[in-house]
Amino acid sequence: MVTDAASAARPHLVFRGVIWVSSRLLAAERILVAGLMVLLTGLILLNVVTRYTRIPLYWIDEAAVYSVVFLTFIGASAMTRLRMDFAVTILTERFPERWVRIAKVISTCIVLLFGFLLIWMCALWLDPVGIARAGFDVRKFSGETFNFIYTERTQTLNWPLWKLYMIMPLFAVCMTIHSVANLLEDLGIASREQNTSFLQSNLEGIN
């Protein structure tokens, strides 16, 4: 009996763990989104001031672009958990309640599948196994695979591009975790969380 009870409780703990991780990620994304918005605003204002005083900083434009890129990916991950992604409800709003729930599950499964495929694509693109086999020698890796991702650098900031590209696998993993949490809620395995603290308002899901 103890063994049966423990085995029955184990999946429940796993499900709660997924919800907990998703909540912590959402809290971190809220801070990052706010910080990137402040950074982007500061960069734009600094660009205006330096151009007006005729001492422009050539790297500000590139920094602002990458700030927008990071803000977009992090915000998109948060929107997945908040269910603020786009949805066409011209059919589902006419469905009975049972079919609406089925449509939500299917929609969430599609997002989850996209997350898994994006993780797989990033693994092929960044090729961590390949770079490890090359002894983390980027020139040897590039010569053997013709994958120059680890040798490219930004034009003005002169940062390694692969470090900036890491936002894509990070987004893929976070979106996948959020999608699993959403699926657990859609299936009725976990109770629906409102996540009102993100924008200090009651966010009702679109899909």
Q: Are 201 and 82 in contact (CB under 8 A)?
A: no
68 is a domain residue: yes
Q: What is the mean pLDDT of the chain?
A: 85
pLDDT, tens digit, 9 for 90 and up, residues 1-59: 445 544 444 557 888 888 999 999 999 999 999 999 999 999 999 999 998 888 888 89
Residue 194 tokens read as 């409102």
- The residue segments making up the domain with residue 61 are 2-186
Q: How far apart are CA 100 and CA 180, in angstroms?
A: 19
Residue 191 tokens read as 């109770």
pLDDT band at 205 (very low <50, low <70, confident <90, very high): very low
97 is a domain residue: yes
pLDDT band at 188 (very low <50, low <70, confident <90, very high): confident
Q: Which amino acid is at 156?
A: T
Q: How far apart are CA 175 and CA 74, in angstroms?
A: 9
160 is a domain residue: yes
Q: Are 41 and 51 in contact (CB under 8 A)?
A: no
pLDDT, tens digit, 9 for 90 and up, residues 104-158: 899 999 999 999 999 999 999 999 999 999 999 989 999 888 989 999 999 889 9
Q: What is the pLDDT of residue 171?
A: 96
13 is a domain residue: yes
Q: What is the pLDDT of residue 85?
A: 74
Largest Cα–Cα distance in the chain? 78
Q: What is the pLDDT of residue 96?
A: 80
Cα-to-chain-centroid distance, residue 192: 20
59 is a domain residue: yes
Q: What's the domain count of the chain?
A: 1
Which pTM value belongs to this model?
0.83
Whole-number Cα distances in Å, 187 to 21, 105, 155, 191: 18, 7, 48, 10
203 is a domain residue: no
For every residue of 88-108, DSSP letters joined together read: --TTGGGS-HHHHHHHHHHHH
166 is a domain residue: yes
Q: Which amino acid is at 1?
A: M
pLDDT band at 178 (very low <50, low <70, confident <90, very high): very high
Rounded to 10 degrees, the C-alpha dihedral 70/22/112/99 comes to: -130
pLDDT band at 100 (very low <50, low <70, confident <90, very high): confident
162 is a domain residue: yes
Q: Which amino acid is at 104?
A: K
Percent of the chain past pLDDT 70, that is, above it, reads 88
Residue 107 contacts by C-beta under 8 Å, 6 or more apart in sequence? 87, 207
pLDDT band at 197 (very low <50, low <70, confident <90, very high): low
Residue 139 tokens read as 């020139």
Q: What is the pLDDT of residue 27?
A: 93
